[in-house]
Structure 1
Amino acid sequence: MSLTTSRQAPAPPDPAARAPPPGPHPHPPPRRAPNVLAGLGSLLWLVLVGLPLYVLLAATLQSRPDYQRSGPLGLPRHLTLDNYLDVFDNGFGHYFLNTAVVTVCVVVLVLLLVPPLAFAVVRGARPGTLRVFRLFLLGLAVPAQAVVIPMFYVISKAGLYDNLIGVILPTAAFCLPICALVLTGTMREIPGELYEAMTLDGASTWLVFRRLVLPLSRSGLSTVVVFSALQAWNGFLFPLVLTQSEDTKVVTLGLYNFQTQYGVNIPGLLAAVVLSTLPVLLVYLFARRALIQGLMGMGGK
């Protein structure tokens, strides 16, 4: 008789046996102590940011006598929108329209000139292209205050003094160097394999620029648009020197209408400031990420 022994496979471990008993964790994670200094610093920063906004908005909702009695930090007693209505009665709508025309024209000029220039610098085969681009970037080192007198002479001889075109051209010219630098960095982020693939497919230079470069440079183009629009909207020096009449005034110059020889209408002036900053605030809220990324050289990613 032969005895045979059979081995049984070990039973799988019971997961319930290894599970920890129900109840609180034996070693709860330590709680972090509240950072009192950080909280106080945040509260202080909130006060520093919120107090000017409160002074600005509260003054626009008060009449001039109430503002003089309560002061800038006082609570408004009788809310009114007369200051905003007075702003438009003083020609603010016309100034706003002039500023919008200057801003749109500057953005259009920058978009027509900067993308082909940046594309020629990135993909140009001629050896003198980079030298011309470096010479073009010297405009970054020239402040507008240093050339305002020659600019006034040129604009006057061209017959563009006291004309919005005379404001548009120099504003766009001073936007070109930084916009070209930003967009060139964006186009350098496009892989060279994509250029080679389209070239092998028989695409022309114009087709590569239109079908490949422009779609992949949207972030850089957004940065260029935002930067040039802000520069044109907030422009003060060129409109001050190159315009004179009421028909060509922009928003930044129209604020002087609230200052007379007898005093300053502070509630009306602050109401005009609020209305003039609304477009800038909206542009910043919707395009701040593109602007920051483009200025950091990340527009193509």
Structure 2
Amino acid sequence: MRGPAVARRLVLAVYALLIIVPLVVIVGGSFKTTQDLFAAPFGLPTRPTLDNYVTVLSRQNLLRVLGNSVLVVAVSVPVTLLLGSLVAFAVARLPRWPSRILYAVFAVGLAVPAQAVMIPQYVQFDRLGLRDSLLGLMLVNVVVTLPVAVFILAGFLKTLPAELYEAAELDGAGPWAAYRRIAVPVSYPSLAATAIFLVVMHWNDLLYPLLFIDDPDKRTLPLALLDFQGEYLTEYPLLFTGVVVASLPMIVAYAFLQRHFVAGITAGAVKG
């Protein structure tokens, strides 16, 4: 076996350990008591218990919190995909300079850190009465992640041959019809991949719920997990259990959408 191949496998093995070890600690720790966790943090549970899951589900009103996260994601992702696909279609079909200017506007949104605009966003949402509401959280999610959707979808739509749109124009289709009948159907893999990115970003977001949400009944899952971390004591078994519960929907979603995700990230990689 050659040196580069050995080095590559060694790097992959180290990377696998960096992923597997924390995963084993978190999943195994969710079935341990605090004493067992500190006695053997890297070992498998010798006396597995489901008490942590019962405590998390009952103590944190997890069903309400889970419902809030599901509602925020279920609204934010489709709206972001709709707006992002419309902007990406415009970027792909406009003449060169208008297209570049429009694309540059959204590229700036990727370059500016979210933390740099949080104070103006907070003040504006407070004036509009949208702070401490799930509607306000949905809107800020759409605004923050829209540049990501435009970036991914525009990269794919630019690879489509112009002949597709020219044929539609010959059939009398306008821009809206070309968007609905050509751009959206052929972009399904790219839309699915973008949707997965957005779902993960919205589901795991802690910063904006921490900034905008004060009402305990409107918290999302990442925000609820903070309750397990105190000033002097962190309940690690309960925290690990909350992390496992919060990760399960993402794991299930990826298991069902894996084929679309792989197709989406490779779409447009080879242009005929």
Q: What TM-score, normalized to structure 1?
A: 0.79
1:88 is matched with which residue?
A: 57
Alignment of structure 1 residues 275-286 onto 2, 5 Å:
275-285=245-255, 286=257
2:146 is matched with which residue?
A: 176
2:156 is matched with which residue?
A: 186
Counterpart check, 1:289 vs 2:262: yes
Cα RMSD for the two superposed structures:
2.7
1:72 is matched with which residue?
A: 41
Alignment of structure 1 residues 113-262 onto 2, 5 Å:
113-124=83-94, 128-261=98-231
Partners of 1:45 and 1:131 in 2: CA distance: 40
Distance 1:127 1:40, change over 3 A: closer
- Unaligned regions of 5+ residues in structure 2, if any? none
1:27 is matched with which residue?
A: none
Q: Which amino acid in 2 is paired with 1:76?
A: P
Partners of 1:274 and 1:291 in 2: CA distance: 27
Distance 1:127 1:73, change over 3 A: closer
Distance 1:148 1:290, change over 3 A: farther
1:267 is matched with which residue?
A: 237
Do 2:190 and 2:265's aligned partners in 1 also have CA atoms closer than 8 Å?
no
1:109 is matched with which residue?
A: 79
Do 1:219 and 1:299's aligned partners in 2 also have CA atoms closer than 8 Å?
no
Number of positions where the alignment pairs a residue of Structure 1 with one of Structure 2: 267
Q: Which has the larger radius of gyration?
A: 1
Partners of 1:138 and 1:83 in 2: CA distance: 44
* Aligned-pair CA distance for 1:37: 7.1
Partners of 1:189 and 1:135 in 2: CA distance: 21
Partners of 1:44 and 1:102 in 2: CA distance: 36
Give SS of 1:260's match.
coil
* Aligned-pair CA distance for 1:48: 3.8
2:269 is matched with which residue?
A: 298
Alignment of structure 1 residues 52-71 onto 2, 5 Å:
52-68=22-38, 70-71=39-40
Do 1:98 and 1:248's aligned partners in 2 also have CA atoms closer than 8 Å?
yes
Give SS of 2:52's match.
helix
Q: Which amino acid in 2 is paired with 1:298?
A: A
- Unaligned regions of 5+ residues in structure 1, if any? 1-31
Do 1:87 and 1:268's aligned partners in 2 also have CA atoms closer than 8 Å?
yes
